[in-house]
Structure 1
Amino acid sequence: MFTGIVEELGEVIALEPAGDSARLTVRGPLVVSDAAHGASIAVNGVCLTVTDLKGDTFTVDVMKETLDRSSLAALEPGSPVNLERPVRPADRLGGHIVQGHVDGVGRVVSREPGDRWEVVTVELPRRLARYVAEKGSITVDGVSLTVVEARDDAFTIALIPTTLELTTLGRKGPGDPVNLEVDVVAKYVERLVTAGSLT
């Protein structure tokens, strides 16, 4: 489990196709400082398993399902990525409950600068809109954020200077893809409410 509080801005070293999957190597000195083979690290909000460690880099295998449901296939050497290690049971939950299971890919529609912040509008797949609520939580490229406005086809978020500086969201422009994970609690509530219609 993650919190959506990005620990480090990493850099893609390589994305090597391997049939219908890929091997991704990322530089992230902080997140590899206590990582081991088999550890989980969230890359742009996608929970991935470390298969190799060398110096300040780690390598993960990315399966077809993950490539199909996320924006990871669009990464290339030099791309910045948001990195987060899983939360420890005794840690504070600074963001919200994030699984690292991407629900879909959205696209940045617009950015409106303020004095020291920006309001960003993100288009999302219509099937995910029902899980997004004003003042609710959403994860965008692994960053836990509060929804400012929720619409049927998009939502807005307000990015503070720290988020703009320390995550990929400060660099994303109109048309850029972003990984989206909606609030897992909303998905479970829907499942429980509709469970009677499944029998």
Structure 2
Amino acid sequence: MFTGIVEEMGRIRARLDGGRFEIDASVVLEDLAVGDSVAHNGCCLTVVEIGNLEAGEQWYAVEAVPETLSRTNLDDLAPGDVVNLERPVRLSDRLGGHLVQGHVDAIGEVVTPAPDLRVRTPPQLARYVVEKGSITVDGCSLTVIEAEDDAFTVAVIPHTAEVTTLGRRRAGERVNLEVDVLAKYVERLMEKRYPT
């Protein structure tokens, strides 16, 4: 589980064999071990290798399977690109955003860049997006200020624009979306209790 509070932007140093990414970072390396999870633009991936930190190698590697690449914007990444990074929440941490699983629900398209970031959503996601509700965009926990059938708008404050990739997003670019998991659970329970 994550909170949607991005810890840092990492930089893609290499992309190997399609789904293997080597990422330059600093904060997330502090207590990182092979096998740990890290959210990359909101997508949870497992660390498979860490550079020699004692020799000053400030990088780690993750691998994404074809299914993950097809359902996220990670396939758009190339060396030199930046990516939002967050380690999993600990039970002792503050929950500054909202509960985020790191399971991307869909890819959205930026219609209007920050500060009033407007994102076009796939039709199947619209029912989960509500005004004043939470949504995760590229790993950032945000509050929806306007929800429509095919798009939503979130306000991106200057700090968030500066310390995440959201300030760099342009119209037409793809972003990872994860809706509030509670909405999906409620819908499933209602379907079971009141079948149509």
The aligned residue for residue 5 of structure 1 is 5
Give CA deviations for 1:80-134 in whole Å, capped at 9, x if unaligned: 100000010011100000000000100100136xxxxx11110011100000000
CA deviations on 1:56-80 (whole Å, 9 max, x unpaired) are 1110110112111100001000101
Correspondence 1:66 to 2:63: no
Pick from 86, 111, 135 the counterpart of residue 88 of structure 2.
86
Q: Which amino acid aligns with 2:7?
A: E
- TM-score normalised by length of structure 2: 0.94
Determine the C-alpha separation between the residues in 2 that align with 1:52 and 1:192.
40
What displacement does 1:17 show? Answer: 3.0
For 1:99-178, what aligned pairs fall within 5 Å after superposition? 99-111=101-113, 118-178=115-175
CA distance in 1, matches of 2:66, 2:195: 29
**Pairwise CA distance, 1:198:** 6.4
Counterpart CA distance in 1 for 2:117 and 2:127 is: 19
Task: Name 1:26's counterpart in structure 2.
Answer: 23
Amino acid of the residue matched to residue 122 of structure 1? V
By percentage of residues, which structure has more strand? 1
Q: Which amino acid aligns with 1:99?
A: Q
Q: Which amino acid in 2 is paired with 1:98?
A: V
TM-score, normalised to structure 1's length? Answer: 0.93
Q: Which amino acid aligns with 2:4?
A: G
Q: Any unmatched runs of 5+ in structure 1?
A: 113-117
2:15 maps to what in 1?
15
**How far is the alpha carbon of 1:16 from its aligned partner?**
1.9
Q: Structure 1 residue runs of 4+, over 6 Å off?
A: none
Structure 2 Cα separation of the partners of residues 111 and 65 of structure 1: 28
In 1, Cα distance between the equivalents of 2:3 and 2:194?
33
Q: 1:115 aligns to what?
A: none
